[in-house]
Structure 1
Amino acid sequence: MAPSSSSLITVATCNLNQWALDFDGNVHRILESCRLAKEQGASYRLGPELEICGYGCEDHFLEHDTFDHCWESLCQLLGEGASDGLLCDFGMPILHAGVRYNCRVLCHDRKILLIRPKSALADNGNYREGRYFTAYSSPANSTANCPEKHLLPSTFFVKFGQRDAPFGLYHVECADGTAIGCESCEELWTPQASHIDLALRGVEIIGNGSGSHHELRKLSTRIELMMSATRKCGGVYLYSNQRGCDGGRTYYDGCAMIVVNGKIVAQAPQFDVHDVNVITATIDLDDVRSYRASHPSFGIQAARTIAESGGSNGLMYDTITLVFDPTNSASINKNRPKIMEGGMALKIASPEEECCLGPACWLWDYLRRSGAAGFFLPLSGGADSSSVAAIVAVMCTLVTKAAREYPEGDVAKDCRRICRKDDPGNSSWVPSTPEEMANFVLHTAFMGTENSSAVTHSRAKRLGDAIGSYHLSIKIDLMVKAVLQVFQIATGHMPRFASRGGTMSEDLALQNIQARLRMVTSYLMAQLLPWVRGRSGFLLVLGSANVDEGLRGYMTKYDCSSADLNPIGGISKGDLKRMLIYLPREYPGLDVLAEIANAPPTAELRPIDAATATAEAGHSQTDEEDMGMTYEELGYFGRLRKMSRCGPVSMFRKLVVTWSHLAPSDVAAKVKRFFYYYSVNRHKMTTITPAYHAEAYSPDDNRFDLRQFLYNTRWTRQFAVMDQIVAQYPDSDNKDKND
């Protein structure tokens, strides 16, 4: 028997590419999401966390202007009919009784029904919500009969006749009995999650407006939390997320979804260049009621919760009644939607896909919002710079596809503006291929010296040709010699490489001057290449230092790592190599990437020793030999230092077990070497290029890794304790390293 129409409801959630403090643009995108939700027959629409101002306002949340502009935007949204016939759940900051709260604002028919503050704040990793907001706790005297009220700006009374709105941990109960509640991002992740109490109080639909950033392999955890929540409690769980770069290092990866009774019934794209994605599902609420009734333990706990005065986490969850029937909508009967009964196949990107798709979309946002005409990339032919070039190629592929599908859409318009094709004569122009677009926006240069090999020169040129970039091959030996002559005139001394009789200080100085001159050359090219090509504008310089090199400090301060943006600064060397092997399978023509992935990394800053140069590297100098540790070992060090919060001694205790093939003394030596170079080079992180955040052990000093940059690099107490532990191992120095 078909279900009655009174038990059906169509719900909508969305990805929005909001931009911090872009109030007009944010309103435009919110309005579009509401329009699409109504067009698809929805009665309820959920939006991302802090969508009205953008999640990443940071210290702008301390400015009163931000709150005023949010109210102006909300007034505009209601005035332009966003909530007409649609229950809208918006995200914005609220200043209530002198306290700043991160809130959900539920509106219907130009009336604010409820302001629901966030009760658990995110304060780890990249998040600093406690710096700006206060976690809400219900006042002791809060009851359903005496709700806390928030006085609205006078504009709302003038325009909409409303003076105040309920403020607190309430949920909405509609005229037909449908109950709708709110949860905000971090509240899903907490041990005593608010959705548990909401479900036990009979709330059938829970919306989570989120600002969750992309991190490799994070989506699976996020999905499991939502599926687990509704698998245990039943119900409809909507997840809305910001998507895109709103002005910082993080990228919000969207993937809005709708989950019913433990199964995902709708999922929006995780990575995309469109600003607005709206997904809907028509749900039979009788399925939720039946699911819950079939679990006796749920009924027992629900009855107990209702009898108690507060939830299991000590918070009060009261009810706001709404004279609105979301399940008796004419649009449902008109559109005759398909009822979502079963689950759907999940779309979860592999780490290799995440490595290229996330940074590609991040770069597109930076490019179109910065006013730049494209990118300049020093392309060495090695794995790191080649990874960056490949990511730009993926960006061009995504943008070209979207522009060709919708020639009048926003992506196509941005494409025409960036490529300087926005004059009246090119009103319908879109790139015919990703290579055509790459030729407009990507400028690459192999900046060689007498120490560079023909192998890396060849790889760089072949990759530039395959991508379609505007590629140059430059020799900077004249610049190097000129700087050294100035030094010789000033001091009377000429430095030499160690292989030619010089000291290590001379050797490092000669390597560093090559790297720093490449940075100077890069910025010169970035400013003038558009002019050379008869175009206007400037280029953004792209850096290519990976997270492991940043952790170890294996980079020259103010060399090519000092760029405008670094799309791989939060990605490990191992993941980058896997990405380079993956890409040729998905993007034909980039076969050279597999060759690059398998070549030993080399800086090519010392003279080539023909006797020890390898055919794969084309050079005798290799990164891992220079560093005294492998990239795989660096990955271990980084994860233990940041994610497992290990100091030198606790790191040694773990690795002496994990690396059981090594003698304890050798493990100790490796750990000591890592901590010495980590601390002696920590100062480099204070000037690190803004890098795409992808890995949870990033050493980025600016936002993520709040550790000092001046250390006692001898680590006297820590290393002494380590030596004492090593001495306790029997025959530790004689252990067979091959067993």
Structure 2
Amino acid sequence: MAPLVTLATCALNQWSLDFEGNLRRIKQSIIKAKEAGATLRVGPELEIPGYGCLDHFLETEVYDNSWDSLYSILTDSSLHGIMIDVGLPLLHRNCRYNARALILDGKILCFRPKLYLANDGNFREMRFFTPWNRPRHVEQYYLPPRIQKHQGCRHVPIGDVVLSTIDTCLAAETCEELFTPNSPHINMGLNGVEVFTNSSGSHHSLRKLNERIALIQEATRKNGGVYLYSNQLGCDGDRLYYDGCAMIFVNGDIVGQSSQFSLNEVEVVVATVDLEKVRSYRFAPSRGMQAVAAPEYQRIEVDYSLSHENLDLDLDQGPTPARPARYHLPEEEIALGPACWLWDYLRRSKAAGFFVPLSGGIDSCATATIVYSMCRLVIAAIKEGNEQVIADVKRIAAYKSELPETAEELCNQIFYTCYMGMENQSSKETRDRSKDLSARIGSYHTDVNIDDMFHSTKNILTQATGFTPKFKVHGGSQTSNLALQNIQARSRMVLAYYFAQELCEVRERPGGGSLLVLGSSNVDECLRGYLTKYDCSSADINPIGSISKTDLKRFIGWAAKDFGMPILVDFLDAVPTAELEPITATYVQSDEVDMGMTYDDLSRFGTLRKLDHLGPYGMFLRLLDEWGGEGDGKLGPREIARKVKLFFHYYQINRHKQTVATPAYHAESYSPDDHRFDLRPFVYPPGFESWSFKKIDARVEALEQRKQKQKQVA
């Protein structure tokens, strides 16, 4: 019978280029793993410099600094007695690699470079690194001089290797490799590898955890084995939030899982496993036939045992039992992910808090509620004794020397809201909703009218040209109507930054400081371009910029109950409106009427455009199947064509807005974010004259003629 093995994986809140802080967190995780009796510790991808260094990975200094950190790990005797799997970038034969170092008792056992690089969506690893696209190939890595002296040799193995210890066999798989069809763990398992490690830098997006868990469950359920998944946690310095959730699996069952969203900087998951369960699981003769035919890996012999030396301890402790996977509802993910991201951004930016123009609509309401959720998480962390959070709160919440005791009290110190209305455009309902929401969450609230700013700007054109623009409801043109709306929107952006710089001084905040302006435009409005360039959607960061209107409504409905905030129901019941046109007895501006499509339509258009990679004609054909037909709720070909062409028309002419869009928390897989995730032109040929639109028109004509012939025959 095989003895029991205690293994550890972790989630670390690393920060790009924070070598000192990253090293401290790495060492802390190793010490925690040792204290729990683990003989192997696995850490996140590129944990030494931080995963999100981007073009800094092209700088040699990052590699030198990473060696400094690795040397500190090697020479720290308190970290001996446990096998360590740590992620770092390497230069080898003038090529850059995303690699892992496996270490034992201050000596490097080998380097394992990443075979297949993530190079789509948010990821551009091939811009910085070379893939080790040679499975099972191993060569020698020549160490820097000081490492040679410490190591006692000139080189160590580098490549796609497996390690044979006294009692088992283990190998590394890195992030993207798990998601590839022919994942390394398949042949590794057939070659007798029993313990798999995976260092990951996987960001949060809504409903993504399900995919990760399914892939690891399938890998270990089909192949057998112990799988240790490690992931980064927190905001690494960019729009992505890495959602942790380090996990340990045995033969398809979860035996350990850390939190998915947390303000902790270091989380370590430990489980004790019985290797005999892996061996007995791999009994099938058909598996054996594949195993003897599988390609061979070069093995590194390690004179070390992962098993407990004390067999009595094995009998007392026993294997860690399986447990159900823990998932959050999408509504909870919105409450937690952007909130954790905001906290990391706030504490690391050294700003004094956040400012939001609170309009009384659901988008700014959702933004404010996320900030309130952040405050709830911070207060909970304080009560748990989180030393890092306590230190950050003492610095940021500077109005009192005592720590805040409630989310509302913290909110009052670090969150500022303002209703910016106009006499004829803004309704009493939106003004009251803003005031009531602010009172509920405790934000420092101001209420101003911007009529003077609007009229002074409008009159400049009249003074210069003699022309007086009018709103459409007053007999003006569509051009003037839009121009006058944009004055209001852009005035709010100017005022938001003015208030953000001055309100701390107004309140006599100790040490002064300025606020970060939060945007509140959702992903569907960005996709359609239904926003004014450089209006109050322009901000420092935007926590909801990659979340759909549909999911935001679900989040607000959930928060109304879970947070005990019935005021949120009023926002759900309100008709979405920008309130940029005068309200009359017969007219109130409506977002969906203005856009010519619903928010649900936009979500579907976005998914088909980005995830299904469909252009106008392909989208039209797909929606013919989904939306077309007879009966209630079904649409004819001409109406579907109109909607598709209208969407692409506005998407194309508004693409330029995404080039200056506020950096937004990435949560939705169809985000039109132009900065990195969605790389497309921003100047298109005229939409309705395009080749695809002509094909749509021809198909509509053909379908209508066929339907007419069928009626005549009948």
TM-score for both structures, normalised by structure 2: 0.96
C-alpha change, 1:579 and 1:262, in structure 2 (3 Å) is same
1:562 aligns with 2:538: yes
Distance 2:312 2:39 in 1: 13
Distance 2:663 2:73 in 1: 34
In structure 2, the partner of 1:318 is 298
> For each residue in 1:570-605, what CA deviation from the matched residue of structure 2 results, as whole angstroms up to 9, or x when unmatched?
0000000000000122111x2111220221100000
Distance 2:603 2:78 in 1: 48
Q: CA deviation at 1:329?
A: 4.2
Amino acid at match of 1:652: F
Aligned partner (choices 146, 149, 157) of residue 155 of structure 1: 146
Q: Does the 8 Å contact 2:243/2:260 carry over to 1?
A: yes
In structure 1, the partner of 2:287 is 298
Could you say what secondary structure the match of 2:704 adopts?
Answer: coil
Distance 1:81 1:249 in 2: 37
Q: CA deviation at 1:326?
A: 1.5
In structure 1, the partner of 2:700 is 726
1:357 aligns with 2:336: yes
In structure 1, the partner of 2:631 is none
Amino acid at match of 2:583: I
In structure 1, the partner of 2:639 is 666
1:255 aligns with 2:245: yes
1:34 aligns with 2:14: no
1:205 aligns with 2:195: yes
In structure 2, the partner of 1:648 is 616
> For each residue in 1:459-495, what CA deviation from the matched residue of structure 2 results, as whole angstroms up to 9, or x when unmatched?
1111111111001111111111111222222222221
Could you say what secondary structure the match of 1:392 adopts?
Answer: helix
1:583 aligns with 2:559: yes
Q: Does the 8 Å contact 2:36/2:270 carry over to 1?
A: yes
> For each residue in 1:46-83, what CA deviation from the matched residue of structure 2 results, as whole angstroms up to 9, or x when unmatched?
00000001111111111111111111110112222364
Aligned partner (choices 498, 516, 524) of residue 524 of structure 1: 498
In structure 2, the partner of 1:313 is none
> For each residue in 1:479-521, what CA deviation from the matched residue of structure 2 results, as whole angstroms up to 9, or x when unmatched?
1111122222222222110110111111101100000000000
Q: Does the 8 Å contact 1:46/1:89 carry over to 2?
A: yes
> For each residue in 1:2-61, what CA deviation from the matched residue of structure 2 results, as whole angstroms up to 9, or x when unmatched?
xx6x52110000111111111111001101100110111100000000000111111111
Amino acid at match of 1:594: V
Distance 1:498 1:114 in 2: 71
> For each residue in 1:373-423, what CA deviation from the matched residue of structure 2 results, as whole angstroms up to 9, or x when unmatched?
10000000101000000000000000110012106x11111111111279x
C-alpha change, 1:733 and 1:452, in structure 2 (3 Å) is farther
In structure 1, the partner of 2:47 is 51
Residues 10-89 of structure 1: pairs in structure 2 closer than 5 A: 10-81=6-77, 83-89=79-85
In structure 2, the partner of 1:444 is 417
Residues 246-395 of structure 1: pairs in structure 2 closer than 5 A: 246-293=236-283, 295-305=284-294, 308=295, 310=296, 317-329=297-309, 338-340=317-319, 342-395=321-374
Distance 1:562 1:162 in 2: 56
Amino acid at match of 1:118: K
Could you say what secondary structure the match of 1:167 adopts?
Answer: strand
Amino acid at match of 1:152: L
1:110 aligns with 2:106: yes
Amino acid at match of 1:80: D
Q: CA deviation at 1:341?
A: 5.3
> For each residue in 1:510-561, what CA deviation from the matched residue of structure 2 results, as whole angstroms up to 9, or x when unmatched?
1000000000000001001111111111100000000000000000000011
C-alpha change, 1:335 and 1:486, in structure 2 (3 Å) is farther
Distance 2:514 2:316 in 1: 50
Q: Does the 8 Å contact 1:447/1:518 carry over to 2?
A: yes
Residues 554-633 of structure 1: pairs in structure 2 closer than 5 A: 554-588=530-564, 590-612=565-587, 620-633=588-601
Distance 2:241 2:637 in 1: 41
Distance 2:491 2:315 in 1: 66
Could you say what secondary structure the match of 2:108 adopts?
Answer: strand
1:406 aligns with 2:385: yes
In structure 1, the partner of 2:465 is 491
C-alpha change, 1:39 and 1:544, in structure 2 (3 Å) is same
Q: Does the 8 Å contact 2:3/2:307 carry over to 1?
A: yes
TM-score for both structures, normalised by structure 1: 0.92
In structure 1, the partner of 2:712 is none
C-alpha change, 1:162 and 1:412, in structure 2 (3 Å) is farther
Could you say what secondary structure the match of 1:730 adopts?
Answer: helix
Distance 1:290 1:28 in 2: 40
> For each residue in 1:267-314, what CA deviation from the matched residue of structure 2 results, as whole angstroms up to 9, or x when unmatched?
000001111100100011111111112x22222211222xx4x4xxxx
In structure 1, the partner of 2:396 is 418
Distance 1:93 1:192 in 2: 24
% same residue? 51
> For each residue in 1:139-177, what CA deviation from the matched residue of structure 2 results, as whole angstroms up to 9, or x when unmatched?
99x5xxxx511011112133343432111111111123x
Q: CA deviation at 1:325?
A: 1.3
Q: Does the 8 Å contact 2:271/2:320 carry over to 1?
A: no
> For each residue in 1:619-642, what CA deviation from the matched residue of structure 2 results, as whole angstroms up to 9, or x when unmatched?
x11100011110010011100111
Distance 2:404 2:566 in 1: 23
Q: Does the 8 Å contact 1:664/1:732 carry over to 2?
A: no
1:218 aligns with 2:208: yes
Q: Does the 8 Å contact 1:553/1:678 carry over to 2?
A: yes
Could you say what secondary structure the match of 1:148 adopts?
Answer: strand
Distance 2:462 2:559 in 1: 47
C-alpha change, 1:484 and 1:155, in structure 2 (3 Å) is same
Q: Does the 8 Å contact 2:4/2:314 carry over to 1?
A: no
In structure 2, the partner of 1:616 is none
Q: Does the 8 Å contact 2:335/2:373 carry over to 1?
A: yes
Q: Does the 8 Å contact 1:83/1:107 carry over to 2?
A: no
Q: Does the 8 Å contact 2:244/2:260 carry over to 1?
A: yes
Q: Does the 8 Å contact 1:263/1:342 carry over to 2?
A: no
Distance 2:516 2:78 in 1: 38
Q: Does the 8 Å contact 1:173/1:179 carry over to 2?
A: yes
Point out 4+ residue stretches in structure 1 off by more than 4 angstroms.
332-337, 731-735
Q: Does the 8 Å contact 2:272/2:320 carry over to 1?
A: no
Amino acid at match of 1:208: N
Q: Give the superposed CA RMSD.
A: 1.7
Q: Does the 8 Å contact 1:253/1:270 carry over to 2?
A: yes
C-alpha change, 1:462 and 1:335, in structure 2 (3 Å) is farther
Aligned partner (choices 460, 479, 482) of residue 508 of structure 1: 482
- Unpaired stretches in structure 1, ≥5 consecutive residues: 311-316, 613-619
Amino acid at match of 1:531: E
> For each residue in 1:399-457, what CA deviation from the matched residue of structure 2 results, as whole angstroms up to 9, or x when unmatched?
110012106x11111111111279xxx4xx42200101101111000000121000011
Q: CA deviation at 1:352?
A: 0.8
Distance 1:507 1:733 in 2: 41
Distance 1:636 1:373 in 2: 39
- Unpaired stretches in structure 2, ≥5 consecutive residues: 629-633, 710-714
